[in-house]
Chains A and B, each alone.
Chain A
Amino acid sequence: MATTHKLQIYQQTSQYRDWRFTPESLAQQRAANNKQGIERVLQGLREEAQVDDGSGATETRIAEATNNLLSPQEEVELIDYYLQTILTYTRIYQRDKLLKAEATNNVKATAINFVKRFYLHNVVFDYPPKTIMLTCFYLATKVENSFVKIDDFIRPLTTAEIKRNGKAQTKSEDILDLEFVVIQSLQFELAVHHPFRPAYGFYLDMQAYIDDKPLLKEVYERTHHYIDQSLYTDLVFLYQPSQIALGAFKLAAKDKELDIDPYLTECFEARLLETLYTILDDIQEIILAHKSITLEKAREIDRKLILCRNPEKNPNSKLYKKNAADKEDAPYVSDSDPE
């Protein structure tokens, strides 16, 4: 009988198809990106030197940049800092009742995921994470069906800036201009699956096997804490959402001293459980090992980044201004034309 083997629904998601990696391939990709990014920065600085026509300052600028280049590890750390700020913004929007209550978790997780996916194909030299993070967040509110108007979206930012500096710096154009760049880097794949839904499913399914309902509920609430932690790690590229959810559940159960193993042994075959346990152990280890970087460290890296930004993409650089002016003078050429 020639019966065609059908795939399960999760195997047909874009997340499963295009966004799974091994720890090694992740590191490899980041290192390669970093290397190419650095080349682009140096190339851009040299071009800017020509615009400047030979004042000696450019030499020192190139030297400064080469001394302050970021390593792949520093890139990841800087991105990680801005991922933390997503949490802060979520709280602010939540307070202002701009996000739907049931969508909050998903918006937060999707925004974090978008940033992570974006920087698998881009580097911080070209696109600094501060604005990318905002664009991803703005995009995530739309993707998760909890749209926040752009004016509402930037209001908390501008009020904070006015309080601090006396004038608003963030403009809505900064966010909107990058939107297409971001979607393009995400390969137009906007559906992201998070561990929140599976965790809820497990909570319901466990009720039939675990008698202490109030404790189970406590464990479930604690699970959210660990899922939040897992969002900052690379777990989403390594394992399935249901596996991450169960890993978080095990951690939470350990905290609350509830044994959920009877549930697993009763529900699943021992042969399958063996592989599952190794996966779960790995997930728990990664979640616990994650440490967010401190504000001081982030500031330090950010200061270095100012010196080694790619002038081609930096709206404040002379090269960018010259290119923009050239473009305006030149007769219309389609953007998609190869030069």
Chain B
Amino acid sequence: MSILASAEKQNLTPYTTKEDSCPQCQRMRYFNERMVLLVGPCYHKMCELCFENTFASGPAACPECQRVLRRNEYYQPIFEDLTVEREVRVRARMAAAYNKRQEDFKSLKDYNDYLEMVEDLTMKLLYEEDTSQTDSIIEKYKRENNAQIERNMSKRQREEMIQRKVLEQEKSKKLQLRDEYLRQLEDERREKIEAKNNIINALATSDKSAKEILKARTVQLKKSSLSNRNAGRKVQLELEALLKSAAEGFYDDDDDDIDVEEIDDGPFDPAESPYEPVIVRLREQYDDPTPAFRQGSLAAGVTREMHQRYLIEGAMAGLFEPPFSGSAKSSNNEGTQDS
């Protein structure tokens, strides 16, 4: 039962309520919380105890409709409404047999005709019109197209696997970036403390003037901040390259003509910025001459640092934008409409 297997894979819990009761023995969930209700292909319910009793010695008739059924045809329903349950299963069965794709057909019309034919058969099964005839049609189709069905199935499995792997990779990339960022923060913090200690030591021990020592320190700070900035960018680039090569590796070794189009960049993140960020690095101290930053802003939750970042970002935004050439206008418009 492939649908049952996939239901288990997706952790879909079977449908239960407190008012459940077995139609055969009238036992209720109220008295037995662990009661399990099963249904067979005729969609009549039965509790586990009745099931064990009925099918103790091989195939037996359903007590409701007298249809002869087997033990392994029973399962726990996932939907409350058994007609839905039935439709889902019928459709799953049809999809397993009729798994041709659009690229298997010469024209769109052929494909649509095929889809319509499948839907007609499905409807016949659902409304139980000449069931035996429909079954035989399906069986015949399965026999005739066995090879193609198998091929399409393996194709699909492969695609699913690739998609899963890509998602996993994205996830691990994000984790890696986060670790890197945390490490950098930690480094910075340590460096700062160290510098502070150094300067106190220097002030205590050396015989240079305090002014000189402080000046030497600012020079050092500048250097380290620059190297840090470069290091961060390098790590980012390395990660990107690594990820790219890994993703390419997947596609290289597939000999089938599967082309996986448009894999989206993972799940949607509502907190993600819609803009490419401007990279700026703030110093600890600025001479801020104008009173543009007022107490009112502080109350609104804007810190002086945020304000300075805003100003410097403004300075860096579009600094290397080439002069307008006239032709770029249309492409830019497209870009903005996309977002």
Contact of A8 with B283 in the complex, beta carbons under 8 Å: no
Query: Smallest CB-CB separation from A279: which chain B residue?
Result: B323
Which among A8, A11, A25, A204 has the greatest number of chain B C-beta atoms within 10 A?
Answer: A204
Which residue of chain A is the closest to B316 with respect to CB atoms? A242
Judged by a CB distance under 8 angstroms, whether B270 is at the interface is no
| Neighbouring B residues of A208 by C-beta, 8 Å | 222, 283
CB–CB B276/A202 < 8 A? no
Evaluate contact between B265 and A11: CB separation under 8 angstroms: no
Q: Is the CB of B332 within 8 A of A201?
A: no
Interface size class of A (residues with CB under 8 A): 35 or more
Q: Provided the pairs A9-B278, A240-B318 are in contact, do residues A209 and B286 lie with their beta carbons within 8 angstroms?
A: no
Q: How far is the CB of B84 from chain A (nearest CB, A)?
A: 36
Q: Does any Cβ of B come within 8 Å of A3's Cβ?
A: yes
Which segment, of A16-24, A91-99, A139-147, A306-314, faces chain B? A16-24
Q: Per a CB cutoff under 8 Å, which of A6, A213, A245, A276 touches B275?
A: A6
Contact present for B278 and A11 (CB under 8 Å): no
Contacts of B276 in A (CB 8 A): 5-9
Q: How many residues of B contact A (CB 8 A)?
A: 48
Chain B contact residues: helix, strand, loop or mixed: loop
* Cα separation A198 to B322 with both chains bound (whole Å): 17
- Choose one: A4, A200, A220, A241; the contact of B265 (CB below 8 Å): A4
Query: In the complex the two chains form, is B244's CB within 8 Å of A1's CB?
Result: yes
When distances are taken between beta carbons in the complex, the residues of chain A under 8 Å from B333 are 17
Cross-chain contact B274 with A243 (CB below 8 angstroms): no
Per the bound structure, the CA–CA distance linking A12 and B335 in Å amounts to 9
Q: Is the CB of B274 within 8 A of A204?
A: no
Among listed B11-19, B31-39, B287-295, interface-contacting one? B287-295
Chain A residue contacts of B338, Cβ below 8 A: 4
Q: In the docked arrangement, what's the CA distance between A325 and B21, Å?
A: 86
Looking at A5, A20, A25, the one whose CB has the most chain B CB atoms below 10 A away is A20
Give, as a whole number of angstroms, the nearest-CB distance from B25 to chain A: 57
Whose C-beta in chain A lies nearest to the C-beta of B333? A17
Residues from chain B with Cβ under 8 Å of A272 in the complex: 320
Instruction: Check if B308 sits within 8 Å of A102, measured CB to CB.
Output: no
Question: Bound complex: CA of A11 vs CA of B262, how far in Å?
Answer: 25
> Which residues does chain B contribute within 8 Å of A199, judged by CB atoms?
315
User: Does B130 touch A at the CB level, under 8 Å?
Assistant: no
Cα A213 to Cα B215 with chains together (Å) = 14
A11 to B308, CA, bound (A): 21
Q: In the complex, which residues of chain A have a beta carbon less than 8 angstroms from the beta carbon of B313?
A: 201
Given contacts A198-B315, A205-B312, A217-B287, contact A7 B222 (CB under 8 A): no
* Minimum CB–CB distance for A246 against chain B, Å: 7
Q: Which of A184-233 contact B (CB under 8 A)?
A: 197-202, 204-205, 207-209, 213, 217, 220
Q: Shortest distance in angstroms between A308's beta carbon and chain B's nearest beta carbon?
A: 32
| Complex contact A12–B320 (CB within 8 A) | no
Chain A nearest CB, measured from B8 CB (Å)? 32
| Cβ-closest chain B residue relative to A102 | B292
Q: Can you list 10 A-B pairs, Cβ within 8 angstroms, ordered by A?
A: A2-B262, A5-B276, A7-B275, A7-B336, A17-B336, A205-B280, A208-B283, A240-B319, A276-B320, A282-B323
Given pairs A4-B265, A17-B332, A246-B319, 17 additional interface contacts (CB within 8 A): A2-B263, A2-B264, A6-B276, A9-B276, A10-B317, A10-B321, A11-B318, A12-B336, A16-B332, A21-B326, A22-B325, A201-B313, A205-B315, A217-B289, A238-B324, A242-B318, A276-B319
Kindly list the 10 A-B residue pairs having the minimum CB-CB distance in the complex, ordered from nearest.
A201-B315, A240-B318, A20-B324, A201-B311, A10-B317, A198-B315, A9-B275, A197-B314, A201-B312, A6-B276
